Amino acid sequence: MRDGLGYGRGLRAVGRRLRRDEAGGMTIFGLFTFLSMAIIGGLAVDVTHAYSERTRLQVAADVAAHAALFNRRSMSPDDAKLAAINLVHSTMPKSRFGEFIRPSDFEFGSYDYALRSFVPDAASRKAMRVNTARLQARSNGVDSFFSHLIGHDSWDVRTAAVFVAFLPPCFREGFTAEGIVKVNSNNAYLNGFCLHSNTHVSINNKNTFEPGTAVSMPNLDLLKMPASGFSHNAGLDAALKVETQDIREIRHLPDIIANLSKPGSPHYPSYLTSSAIIDISKSKYIPSDFQAGRIYRLGCNGATAKIDPGITLIVSKVVLLTSCDVQIGAGVALEDAVIATTSVSTASIKGPSGVRLGRIDNCQPGGGAQLLTLGGVTFSADLQMHGGQIIAKKDVSFTAGATGVGLSIIAGGTIDGTSGMTMFACGERGMEGNFHIDHYRLAE
């Protein structure tokens, strides 16, 4: 019995010593700490890798959205999508990244900045939303390095991008030129009108610039005006801005002219009922020579194609193409009409006083008129523009008394508007028929 009791007391003593003994504790704690840090480090590597792949996908979405929207100008929706997919696959090959982008990941539509929302519209050229994804469901999830040890083999990563087409305000309404924009005195620029030069602006005294108008150039130190210019040009100081613009309309002008007769082109006028071109050659033309809804190619035998007033005065719902200089007679008005010439002379389109571009409708939709030329444009006094546009590769000039209620003049050379002008801006109303090459920006 004594031996049995002694053995029991010995075991209890050993147990008490083991409970009090801390030898080897740090080894166990170290192993636990190591495993914890290894797990945290492994997760950090996986998360960092997933974020890196997400950045790659985001760049692909941005590029694809921009490319699809840009290509939609000249391609069908399906072709624009495929062109964008091919572009991003050049840097992210399908063989390595799988089907991270598909045609079904593209949506055309419009974008509401106020609500920050995208509205799908398959026929739109205004905005593009693109989704990109690496997913287990697509068999291209982002591989994990350590998480697979706990049964998580890959990460699902998704991104999206929305690109929108837009126009800088000066391209929509105002004077925009690569060369000098020169205006003299006694001019009024109202309701958000814009003057921009990629060279500089030259202004005399006694001009008025309402709040919201803009006068911009790359360097304000190059502004030309009399020493007393700020005190004699109301609102000018507040209107000044430093800007340089990419005047794409000049660069793409030959394409715009070529696309006037191509249905489906963004430059094909909506009022045309036939894309067939009617060849006509006369010493003088009058408005009644042109049937509404048709395209005409005007001959001139090396001379000038002259458009006289005739009885009706109004040239309406036609496109007139020519390689000759064009002279528009006094009092002639163009409404829903385009005159385009590939002549490169300095006065390839000209007219005396009182020519009117656009219907007098106080900024209502429709009725606008456009003059397009690879040369220059010159008009005498009282040029009237109502939702009208002039795009010239060379200089544009007009003398005193011009009036504009919604207008855009874009020149690859200079714009000289002299004196007595009154220029209003319509905003987006009534300017929808004018020709532009979109600019693009990321909305979200």
Predicted confidence (pLDDT) per residue in 202-235, tens digit: 999 999 999 999 999 999 999 999 998 999 999 9
Q: Which residues, 6+ apart, have CB-to-CB distance to 19 below 8 Å?
A: none
**Per-residue confidence (pLDDT) for residue 281, from 0 to 100:** 93
Q: Residue 279: beta bridge partners?
A: 297
The DSSP annotation for 116-140 comes to TEEEE-TT-SSEEEEEEEE-GGGT-
Q: How many residues does the chain have?
A: 444
DSSP label at residue 224:
B
pLDDT of 311: 85
- pLDDT band (50, 70, 90) for residue 1: very low
Confidence of residue 187 (pLDDT cuts 50, 70, 90): very high
Three-class SS state of 294: coil
Instruction: Spell 213-245 as b/e; 16+ CB within 10 A means b.
Output: bbbbbeeeeebebeeebeebbebbeebbeeeeb
Dump pLDDT digits (tens) for 231-287. 999 999 999 999 999 999 999 999 999 999 999 888 999 999 999 999 999 989 999
Q: What 3-state DSSP class applies to 103?
A: helix
Residue 9 pLDDT > 80: no
Interatomic CA distance for residues 132 and 125, integer angstroms? 20
What is the b/e burial string over 246-263, where b = at least 16 CB atoms within 10 angstroms of the residue's CB? ebebbebbeebbebbbee
Residue-wise pLDDT tens digits, 367-393: 999 999 999 999 998 999 999 999 999
CA distance 295 to 215: 38
Residue 397 β-bridge partners: 378, 416
Q: Which long-range contacts link 260-264 to residues 24+ away (Cβ below 8 Å)? A: 260/295, 260/319, 260/321, 260/338, 260/340, 261/295, 261/319, 261/321
Cα–chain-centroid distance for residue 29? 62
Residue 8 CA to residue 26 CA, distance in Å, equals: 31
b/e 415-444 (16+ beta carbons within 10 angstroms → b): bbbbbbbbbbbbeeebbebbbbbbebeebe
Which strand (E) or helix (H) includes residue 75?
Answer: none
Q: What is the spatial distance between Cα 38 and Cα 367, in angstroms, rounded to a whole number?
A: 72
Is residue 135 a contact partner of residue 118, using CB atoms and an 8 Å limit? no
Query: For 52, what's the count of Cα atoms within 13 Å in the CB-facing half-sphere?
Result: 9
The model's pTM is 0.82
Most confident of 4-8, 265-269, 345-349, 397-401: 345-349
Task: Give yes or no for a contact between 208 and 229, defined as CB atoms under 8 angstroms apart.
Answer: no
104-110 mean pLDDT = 96
Residue 23 has pLDDT above 60, yes or no: no
Residue 108 to residue 219: CA distance in whole angstroms = 38
Burial of 126 (0-12, 13-18, 19+ CB in 10 A): middle
What three-state secondary structure class fits 191? Answer: coil
Residues 306-312 have a mean pLDDT of 89
Q: What is the mean pLDDT of the chain?
A: 89
Which of 356, 365, 305 has its CA nearest to residue 332? Answer: 356
pLDDT digits (tens, 9 = 90+) for 144-176: 766 665 556 678 999 999 999 998 888 999 999
Amino acid at 411: A
Task: Name the residue with tokens 């000038």.
Answer: 304
In degrees to the nearest 10, what's the CA dihedral of 215, 217, 222, 227? 0
What is the number of alpha carbons within 13 Å of residue 401 lying toward its C-beta? 10
